[in-house]
Structure 1
Amino acid sequence: MNEPAETRSVVLEREFAAPVERLWRALTQPHLIEEWLMKNDFKPVVGHRFNLRGEWGGVLDCEVLAIEPQKTLAYTWNFSHEDAAFDLKSVVTFTLTPTGAGTRLRVEQAGFRPTQKQAFGGAHAGWKQFLAKLDEVLARAG
């Protein structure tokens, strides 16, 4: 998917000591998503619209764009703000790759405008925290 040159992406990669199947469940089962990401009404169905509800009171409007079981998951990650300068229209893509020790997860959030430096930095820090929580969820599910 080619994105316009005027946008930036946050990309993080991390290896988890868990099989692909377990990581996939944590990415697609609402009760597990809530443990590491946010409250949600997610369903792993292309075209399903859902919300992610942050502890900070914000709501993200999302739509499942692509699912390739145990390989790829992509959905929109849109946030509307009373100040349009803070509106964010982005796409988050999770890519899973089996490794000898578990699974490598690549997370990309694409669509940050150059003027959205605060949102870009916040997303980078936020995804690091989310992935640390995901690691804890996977360790408990072990």
Structure 2
Amino acid sequence: MTAAAEQTLSVVVERELPHPPEKIWRALTQPQLIEEWLMKNAFKPTVGHAFSLSADWGTVECKVRTVEPNRTLSYSWDAAPLESIVTWTLTPTASGTMLRMEQTGFRHDQPMFYGGAKMGWPKFIDRLEDVLARLD
């Protein structure tokens, strides 16, 4: 197998949000808030914690990999045969926070997963923004 064949694709969504990192962190790590913008879950911000995300179309198996409160969160995102990593990065700005979501690990022979993520993540983040607008 060539090196080019082993390379994977990533989906990146970046948005500057008018909220402090602490508020966004709550929406990324509290199960009842995650359910409002993403899917049903049993998330805990603990490295090694395994959890599932479930929707009407199926289930995603996940495991927490990185937790740096108010800064970085990553977890595996496995929906067989897709094995990927989702990483959230929060960077304070003058007017709020730059939110960066990156999902890595899409193989070139998985165009449906890649296309679905490219279409889906901006919609999930729109819903995340709606949740943040309602939070105190």
Q: Does TM-score exceed 0.5, indicating one fold?
A: yes
Contact 1:38 1:55 in 2 (8 A): no
Match of 1:33 in 2: 34
Q: Using the alignment, how far apart are the partners of 2:6 and 2:90 within structure 1?
A: 26
Provide the rounded CA distance (Å) in 1 between the counterparts of 2:113 and 2:44. Answer: 26
Which residue number corresponds to residue 95 of structure 2? 101
Q: TM-score with structure 2 length normalisation? A: 0.94
1:10 is aligned with what amino acid?
V
Does residue 66 of structure 2 align to residue 66 of structure 1?
Answer: yes
1:139 aligns with 2:133: yes
Q: CA deviation at 1:97?
A: 0.3
Q: Secondary structure at the match of 1:42?
A: coil
Residue identity matched to 2:75: Y
* CA root-mean-square deviation: 1.1
Matches within 5 A, 1:1-142: 5-56=6-57, 58-80=58-80, 87-142=81-136
**Separation in 2 of the partners of 1:60 and 1:126?**
14
Contact 1:12 1:106 in 2 (8 A): yes
Structure 1 vs Structure 2: percent identity of aligned residues? Answer: 55
C-alpha separation between the residues in 2 aligned to 1:54 and 1:106?
A: 23
Q: CA deviation at 1:5?
A: 4.9
**How many pairs does the alignment contain?**
132
Q: Any stretches of 5+ residues in structure 1 without a counterpart?
A: 81-86
- List structure 1 segments (4+ residues) > 6 angstroms apart after TM superposition: none
Partners of 2:56 and 2:118 in 1: CA distance: 18
Distance 1:114 1:6 in 2: 8
Deviation at 1:33, TM superposition (A): 0.3
Deviation at 1:55, TM superposition (A): 2.8
Deviation digits for residues 97-118 of structure 1 (CA, Å, limit 9, x no counterpart): 0111111110000000001112
